[in-house]
Amino acid sequence: MKLTAKIVGIFLLGIVLLTALFGYLTVQSEYQQFKRIKEQNAASLGNEVRETLVVAWKDQGHQGAIRLVRDFANRHQQMIIRWVTTDEGQTTSRADIPKKELDLATPETMATLTTQDPEGNEQYLIYYPIDVESSRAGYVEFKVPLNDVAEYTRLTTYRTTAIIVGMLLCGVVIITLGVRMVGRRLDKLVEKTKRISQGDFSEPVEISGDDEISELGAALNQMSDTLFQQQQELAAASSARISAMEQLRHVDRLKTVGRLASGMAHELGTPLNVVSGRAGLIASNRLSDEEVRDSALVIKSEADRMATIIRQLLDFARRRPPQQSLVDIRDVVSTAINLLRPMAHQRDVELTATDSVPLIAAVDPAQLQQVVTNLIVNAIHASSPGGQIRVSLFKQAATPPTDSQAAPREYCCIQVEDQGTGIADEAMPHLFDPFFTTKEVGEGTGLGLSVSYGIIEDHHGWIDVQSQVGEGSRFTVYLPAQVD
């Protein structure tokens, strides 16, 4: 509808402007043509009376010229004719045009003037010069009323106005028909396009007729059918892909279970051997009371170690969903640092934290504290006496590594940097695998980083690792910042 009205309106406006311009130019052309004809008539009459007028002027002077022109005017009443002069002494027959213009007039280029009479009617004055013996005797003035020209102008204006009004009425009719023949059909196409954009491929659009719009409607229906078929094919392919992914995940779970079983067997083997050996010594009754007590303490220590391994394994295998709430990450990190300062001091490692602006994020405080604790403990274990661990908090715009095409967004970052032994390049791909560890025997189970990675992943974040052997490591946790 809007497009049809605009097209017709612009076209109609152009026609109206051209019609108005044509009417104006026609009036001007007819007006100039009328004046040229009157000038030619005046020149012809002036040539006719000139010789007689020169003789009369020589014989009778000014009064003789007046009488002759009066008699001549009575014979030619289509124009008002009189004798005029530029002589200041003649008050009754003076010309209305300035003397300077009259002096320049010739029989070929007569002086002219458009003026109005006392009643307001326009008239056209033409002055034909009469020269007697190289001197200007006077002028024959031809006065032509312009009433006919004014009437013609009015008629032309009325006709042009009537034509413009007729065009406007035709424009209204064309717009009305355009709405019915074009606008409504285009509205159907627009509505069908909107449904397609929303994923609705039902109800084909029905466009009657045998023109370009109906062909466009048929093409739109064909495109809709093609998109629907492709959508069905994509849905089937997606379902097959999901099924394949589930099978791969099942295979991966079986692989993980095997790795966990192998890891547990390795981790539990040593303490079980110790427990078995100490229990055998106690059962032999060959130990003193002091030795029995020492063996019992060893058995308890190894049992606690096995319980810790099993608890961490359960945390990894049955990770609970995070109980998120808006938390200032600075408070969580500060609590973890205060808990671990004694451990760092015991190993002669300096643990420092940098100040930060408030970092508000939706996290599970307990799980986040577990992650920070694991990272700091790993840094302490990797540091030599006299080393330094720096914990930094900041905000940074980043893109998830799994979606490099996504737009960067703001993340709250926790960075733990040490000056320890670093991590070898071959160990980096397995850093977050369960039971993988680079620590010495007895210092870790290899589950801490796996659990931490899973927790951060549940919070829609990730952990970035940068390390150089012999120079230290830097672990950076990225958590989505809370948008105000």
| Distance (Å, whole) CA 349 – CA 88 | 125
Superfamily of domain 322-480: Histidine kinase-like ATPase, C-terminal domain (3.30.565.10)
The pTM of this model reads 0.41
Packing angle, helices 212-283 and 289-317, rounded to 10: 170
Whether residue 364 has pLDDT greater than 80: yes
Helix (H) or strand (E) run with residue 394 in it: strand 388-398
User: According to the model, what pLDDT value does residue 441 have?
Assistant: 43
429-454 pLDDT, tens digit each:
777 776 656 555 444 555 678 888 88
386-402 pLDDT, tens digit each:
999 999 999 999 988 88
- What backbone torsions phi and psi does residue 482 show, to the nearest 5 degrees? -75, 125
| Position 290 confidence tier, pLDDT thresholds 50, 70, 90 | confident
For domain 202-318, the CATH architecture is Orthogonal Bundle (1.10)
User: According to the model, what pLDDT value does residue 74 have?
Assistant: 81
Question: Strand, helix or coil at 475?
Answer: strand
Write out the DSSP string of 241-278. Answer: HHHHHHHHHHHHHHHHHHHHHHHHHHHHHHHHHHHHHH
| Distance (Å, whole) CA 356 – CA 373 | 19
User: According to the model, what pLDDT value does residue 306 have?
Assistant: 80
| Distance (Å, whole) CA 39 – CA 35 | 6
Whether residue 474 has pLDDT greater than 90: yes
Largest CA distance in the chain: 181
Question: Which of these ranges, 42-51, 119-128, 194-203, 448-457, has the smallest mean pLDDT?
Answer: 42-51
Whether residue 244 has pLDDT greater than 50: yes
Question: Strand, helix or coil at 409?
Answer: strand
Average pLDDT over residues 75-90: 74
- What residue type is 246 in one-letter code? E
- What backbone torsions phi and psi does residue 118 show, to the nearest 5 degrees? -55, -25
- What backbone torsions phi and psi does residue 107 show, to the nearest 5 degrees? -60, -25
Average pLDDT over residues 39-56: 76
Write out the DSSP string of 102-170. Answer: HHT--SSS-EEEEEE-TTS-EEEEEEEEEEETTEEEEEEEEEEE-HHHHHHHHHHHHHHHHHHHHHHHH
User: According to the model, what pLDDT value does residue 209 have?
Assistant: 74
Question: Strand, helix or coil at 389?
Answer: strand
| Distance (Å, whole) CA 139 – CA 131 | 9
User: According to the model, what pLDDT value does residue 391 have?
Assistant: 94
DSSP helix, strand, coil percent of the chain (3-state; round to 5): 60, 15, 25
The one-character DSSP state at 182 is I
| Distance (Å, whole) CA 198 – CA 203 | 13
Which residues have C-beta within 8 Å of that of residue 465, sequence separation ≥ 6? 423, 428, 431, 473, 474, 475, 476
Average pLDDT over residues 289-305: 84
Whose CA is closest to 24, among 157, 185, 143? Answer: 157
Helix (H) or strand (E) run with residue 388 in it: strand 388-398
| Position 89 confidence tier, pLDDT thresholds 50, 70, 90 | low
For domain 2-153, the CATH architecture is 2-Layer Sandwich (3.30)
| CATH 1.10.287.130 domain span(s) along the chain | 202-318
Half-sphere exposure of 89 (CA within 13 A, CB side): 1
**What region does 321 belong to: left with phi over 0, alpha with psi -120 to 50, or beta?**
beta
Query: What is the share, in percent, of the chain residues with pLDDT greater than 70?
Result: 86
Cβ(423)–Cβ(436) under 8 Å?
no
Q: How many CB atoms lie within 10 A of CB 233?
A: 10
Cβ(430)–Cβ(416) under 8 Å?
no
99-135 pLDDT, tens digit each:
777 777 777 778 877 777 777 777 888 888 888 777 7
User: According to the model, what pLDDT value does residue 251 have?
Assistant: 57
Specify the pairing of strand 388-398 against strand 350-353. Answer: parallel
Packing angle, helices 2-75 and 147-178, rounded to 10: 170
Whose CA is closest to 364, among 476, 464, 474, 452? Answer: 452
Distance of CA 177 to the CA centre of its chain: 36
- What residue type is 184 in one-letter code? R
C-alpha distances in angstroms, 435 versus 65, 367, 406, 426? 137, 20, 33, 16
Whether residue 260 has pLDDT greater than 60: no
Cβ(107)–Cβ(49) under 8 Å?
no
Whose CA is closest to 313, among 271, 272, 275, 265? Answer: 265
User: According to the model, what pLDDT value does residue 442 have?
Assistant: 45
| Position 318 confidence tier, pLDDT thresholds 50, 70, 90 | low
Query: Going along 203-244, which residue ranges are E strands?
Result: none
| CATH 3.30.565.10 domain span(s) along the chain | 322-480
User: According to the model, what pLDDT value does residue 141 have?
Assistant: 83
> Token pair for residue 415?
């960075």
Query: What is the share, in percent, of the chain residues with pLDDT greater than 90?
Result: 12
The one-character DSSP state at 344 is H
* Bridge partners of residue 392, in order along the sequence: 415
User: According to the model, what pLDDT value does residue 478 have?
Assistant: 95
